[in-house]
Structure formats: structure tokens, C-alpha cells
Structure 1
């Protein structure tokens, strides 16, 4: 009997008020547990910030650059990053709920051990990004480049990759049952036999897993 592919669920969109006034996030050093909410941050650079448990709620970041920013355990709820640059930003142990990244530069973006719920990455450059030990549920990644990214030992539930470059991405220790990679491009990815079992791929991608068994081939 063929393995039935679980139906992926479309991530829920951020819940934003109809009006968002300009928000001054300030140039002063952020304190731990500082909270920002209900506003827009546009065309600016946030630089050299390092804080723990910062909270962002109902915010649109529009073409904002995060330069040398480390926000451990940051909490993001109903947030949009539009045309932003978060390259090499560190958001380890973050909690993201109803968050969208669109047309963003995410090279080396560190979301290790993060919890992602209802999160979308659309048309993003996420090469070398890190999702090690992350817990992803209802996450969509589409039209993006995530080559050499790292999902080591991540947990997937209702996760969808569409039209995304994944060459040399690492999925070691992760279980990809029900995850559809047939719309993605890669020459090789790092994955274990147990982790690959139940994954959906195209017939022409089988060569990438020549030494592995147990894949579901999508004709």
C-alpha cells in the first residue's frame, strides 16, 4: 500500500490592524524583555542590538536591515518582514507565530532551536540559514533559495517546500515523512534513511538517493 501523504495546511496569515502608525524602535541599546507593538518600521538599519526575550507584536518591517543583531528567545507574533535583510542575525530559541518573510535576504540567519507556527518564507534568499533542532508546524517555503541551509534534527509537521532550491541542504536527524520535495531542485541533500522514509520526490530525483531506500516516488 502506498504511503498516504498528509495534507499540508496553509499557514495562517498575520493578524494586523487596518492602520499601523510609524514605530520608532529607537537607536538606544535594547533591554532584555523590551516589547514593541502595533506599528511599521520602514527603511532603516537596526544595528548592534543584543538582548534576550525581546517581543514584537503586530509589526511590519519594511526594507529594514538587521546588522549584527542577536535576539535570543525573541518572540514574534503577527509580524511581516518585507524586503528585509536579516543575514547573520541570531534569533536562537525564538518563538514565531503568524510571521511572514517576503523578498528577504536571510543568508546565515540563525533560527536554531526555534519554534515556528504558521510561518511563510516567500521569494527569500536563505542560503546557509540554520534551523537546527527547530520545531516547524504549518510552515511554507516557496520560490526561495535555501541551498546549504541546515535543518539538522528539526521537527516537521504540515511543512511545504515549493519551487525552492535545496542543494546540499542538511536534514540529518530530521524525519521528512509527508514532506513534498518534488517541486524543489537539488543535486544532493543530507538525510538519513529513516529520515527520508515517506518523503515525496520526483522520479528524476531518485538518483540523489541512490544509496537510500524507502522514498515515495511521485509520478
Structure 2
């Protein structure tokens, strides 16, 4: 059975009954500190919703618009978000242990200050253009197929992160730690004389190293 809901109260009732929720229209609704653990949400819109402190652990959210939603201090432990629009959403203080983001639109999303990251935290095929990931501890994680164009990763701990097929064009890496971060399959964008300092400690491919040397005015001979 799939529940069609139009009010926060109906959404809460559906979750308590263990029913999937399809295509709700709950833009800017107030769900602060609500227990929505195990939510199965398919489509619909909660754009601009107030989800501060909300329990969303074990939630399954697919194709839903959560643009501009306030998820500060929310608990998304073991949640899986697939194809969701999280543009401009805020996650400061949110618990994202073992959370998975697959194919999500996260343009301008603020992940700064999120908590509880575990080794199975996943960012896969997400659009994170101009997103704020500053000062995050992402050490040893795998980030695959993500567009981090002009995203802010300043001060982040990126040691041993496996970046696979990511776009890092104009990405802010000021004071980030990149020791053993694997960038070999990534699009690094324009290589400038500042690039070696920004990528200090990272693992790059021979072609990337050649481009960096060229930007420094060096000639590499085989």
C-alpha cells in the first residue's frame, strides 16, 4: 500500500504505519524534531521544509525535491537518498553516519559541520557544484563521479580519499590535507603555478604531472 499525503500529520501517520509515501506536496512544512525513522519517500516535494532535529535514520528517499530544506541536527544514519534534489539544503550538525547519496543534485548544499561520518558514507554521481564541504573530515572515503566544480573544500581532511572520475575545476582546496588522496582519474581544470601547492601530497597521473610541470615552465623529457 502506498500513502498519498498532503499534510505533515498524514506523513507522520504513514511512517508510523510503515507505508511508503508517494508524491507528497509539503513545501516549507514544519517537521522539526519529528520522528520519521524508516521513512520510505518516493517523489514529491518538501522544498524549504524545516527538518531541524528530525529523525530520518534508515530513511529511503528517492526522486524527492528537498531544495533549500533545513536539515540541521537531523539524524540520517543509514539513510539512502537517490536522485533527490538537495540544492541549497543545510546539514550543519546533522548525523550522517553510513548515509548514502546517489545521483543527487546538491548544488550549493552546505555540508559543513555534519557529524558522525563512517567508512561507508557515500557520495556517488552527485552534483556538488559550489557546495560547502569546508573543514570536513573525509579521510579514507571514496567519492565517485561527483562534480565538485567551485566547491569549497578548504580545511578539509582529504587524506587517502579515493576521488574517482570527479570534476575538481576551480575547487577551493586552501589548507586542505591531501596526502595520498588519489586524483588520477579526475578533471583538475586549469593547471596554474599555484596547483602544485594546492595538491601537495596528492597522487596524480603522469599526464597530470606533465601538465603541472608545464604550468611551472618545466620541460619533461623521456
Give the TM-score, by structure 1 length: 0.76
The answer to whether the 8 A contact 2:31-2:52 is kept is: no
1:208/1:128 CA distance change after superposition, 3 Å: farther
Q: Distance in 2 between matches of 1:208 and 1:93?
A: 38
Matched with 1:3 is none
Q: Distance in 2 between matches of 1:83 and 1:154?
A: 26
1:143 is matched with which residue: 145, 167, 171?
Answer: 145
Q: How large is the Cα RMSD of the aligned pairs? A: 2.5
The 1-side partners of 2:196 and 2:76 are apart by 32
**Contact 2:157 2:176 (C-alpha < 8 Å) held by counterparts:** yes
2:4 — aligned with what?
Answer: none
Q: Is the contact between residue 53 and residue 72 of structure 2 (CA under 8 Å) also seen in structure 1?
A: yes
Structure number with the bigger relative contact order (C-alpha 8 A, sep ≥ 6) is 1
Distance 2:140 2:94 in 1: 16
2: distance between equivalents of 1:196 and 1:142? 18
Whole-Å Cα distance in 1 between the matches of residues 112 and 47 of structure 2?
21
What is the alpha-carbon distance in structure 2 between the residues aligned to residue 186 and residue 146 of structure 1?
A: 10
Counterpart in the other structure of 2:30: 29
* Cα distance change on mapping 1:38 and 1:23 into 2, 3 Å: farther
Shift of 1:145: 1.5
Structure with higher strand content: 1
Q: Verify the 8 A CA contact 1:54 1:74 in the aligned structure 2.
A: yes
Deviation at 1:26, TM superposition (A): 9.0
Counterpart in the other structure of 2:65: 65
Query: Is the Cα contact below 8 Å between 2:71 and 2:92 reproduced in 1?
Result: yes
Structure having the larger proportion of residues in helix: 2
Change beyond 3 A, Cα 1:58–1:198? same
CA 1:82 to 1:208, structure 2 compared with 1: closer, same or farther past 3 Å?
A: same
How many pairs are equivalent?
190
Aligned with residue 179 of structure 2, among 172, 177, 180? 177
C-alpha distance 176-137 of structure 1, shift in aligned 2 (>3 A): closer
Unaligned runs of 5+ in 1: 1-19, 212-219
